Structure 1
């Protein structure tokens, strides 16, 4: 993990009508870290991920990725280094294998089928390669979406509640696969989760969002054992925080 920022956000705000849903005067994601975003529903986690993915542009302020301005108008070559896995998997028609290989095919990778099979093996779904993607379970679809997200080796992996509604065995598998990829390739990971235990297991750092603002960011152990902000302490203790 480098001390250099992968992302730097400056005076960034996102508003829907008169409501400000994200207000970040200064925020950084360190290159090569796993940063977990925690907070109650509506706190701004998904909005922040969409900004980091270049899917949305802020109403004010700037997001920088590796020193380049990053928003909806960013160059496609830069956007292709980032992938966002949504909370609800969006699978295409066709087989499971073709779904996993979709990004590889777009990039002209000739051996996409072999690479897709390697990724399916990694998520324990090789036996479903030729099955229609519409004929698999929700948990299987989530693993297929993860395999697709990792298949082309993104520099930045953004995860929006990727283990929501998964059974414990699949939660463990997702964490194992993501962290293995992170270790192998130095991937920068930003992981939104409502699960305190998961954030502590997987995060290098943890950031608490409330009403679109980052309340506290700290190394995972410090965040959970000795938070500086009273709102963070209340959140860690399972209390309602607004």
Structure 2
């Protein structure tokens, strides 16, 4: 049985670049199940928070602690970027790549990739080069690649920002399915409607600080700060 890597604990975490505070201090504990939606205006620190949690950014101050050993922690989480990272491979080999890195044979990894492509609804010729995919198809490919290891935790940075309504609905279907199969999801979005549809709980950032956190229903029923109220109402802060 694989040991869990959650909870993830952030204690007074800060990220600074060239002496400027980008994020923090943030104190937070990620645990349990479901989908956490990270919200906030442009420049609030949403992407920086996700990158710190995933380990793509080295924090400047504070403490961040997963459960388990470093190799296990890396293997049990995944990250999907707003603009998917493409490799010079076919669609099926892009999806299979994490399993090949794990030592699975190319044949077995490709079989798993076919199943994952079907799971996310990627209806394309899998032998085609990945650069022929549309925006929505690329995001589905990236999701399939991230989910093929059945990660315990999946981070997503505004995965639907550049997609049409149909592609967005399909991505949301994939995410709720992954949640129901036990993957803990942390995702940033500017889309208030998407947050209402997907979130089990909300983190709201402003100026690099976590200023509100709580259940979706409580947050939307009555946000406790003027920044959050303005954001969900579509207002501009003075």
If the length of structure 1 is used for normalisation, what is the TM-score? Answer: 0.91
- Alignment of 1:89 onto 2:90: no
Would you say the 8 A contact 1:14–1:22 is kept in 2?
yes
- Alignment of 1:75 onto 2:64: no
CA displacement at 1:77 relative to structure 2: 2.6
**Unpaired stretches in structure 1, ≥5 consecutive residues:** 69-73
Within a 5 Å distance, the mapping from 1:176-215 to structure 2 comes to 176-184=173-181, 186-215=182-211
- Alignment of 1:100 onto 2:101: no
Question: Which shifted more, 121-130 or 6-15?
Answer: 121-130
Within a 5 Å distance, the mapping from 1:150-169 to structure 2 comes to 150-169=147-166
Would you say the 8 A contact 1:9–1:24 is kept in 2?
no
Would you say the 8 A contact 2:40–2:228 is kept in 1?
no
CA displacement at 1:36 relative to structure 2: 0.3
Would you say the 8 A contact 1:206–1:219 is kept in 2?
yes
Q: How well do the aligned residues superpose, as a CA RMSD in angstroms?
A: 1.7
- Alignment of 1:19 onto 2:16: no
Would you say the 8 A contact 1:155–1:188 is kept in 2?
yes
Match of 2:49 in 1: 48
Match of 2:110 in 1: 113
Match of 2:215 in 1: 219
Distance 1:62 1:20 in 2: 16
- For this pair of structures, how many residues does the alignment match? 232
CA displacement at 1:60 relative to structure 2: 0.6
Instruction: Report the CA distance shift for 1:122/1:5 in structure 2 as closer, same or farther (over 3 A).
Output: closer
Instruction: Report the CA distance shift for 1:146/1:241 in structure 2 as closer, same or farther (over 3 A).
Output: farther
- Alignment of 1:146 onto 2:143: yes
**Unpaired stretches in structure 2, ≥5 consecutive residues:** none
Instruction: Report the CA distance shift for 1:5/1:79 in structure 2 as closer, same or farther (over 3 A).
Output: closer
Match of 1:235 in 2: 231
Question: Which shifted more, 171-180 or 220-229?
Answer: 220-229
Would you say the 8 A contact 2:37–2:186 is kept in 1?
yes
Distance 1:163 1:88 in 2: 10
Question: Which shifted more, 85-94 or 134-143?
Answer: 134-143
If the length of structure 2 is used for normalisation, what is the TM-score? Answer: 0.92
Would you say the 8 A contact 1:12–1:60 is kept in 2?
yes
Match of 1:129 in 2: 126
Match of 1:71 in 2: none
Q: Deviations over 1:56-107 (max 9, x none)?
A: 11111111113x5xxxxx7233211111101110111110000001101111
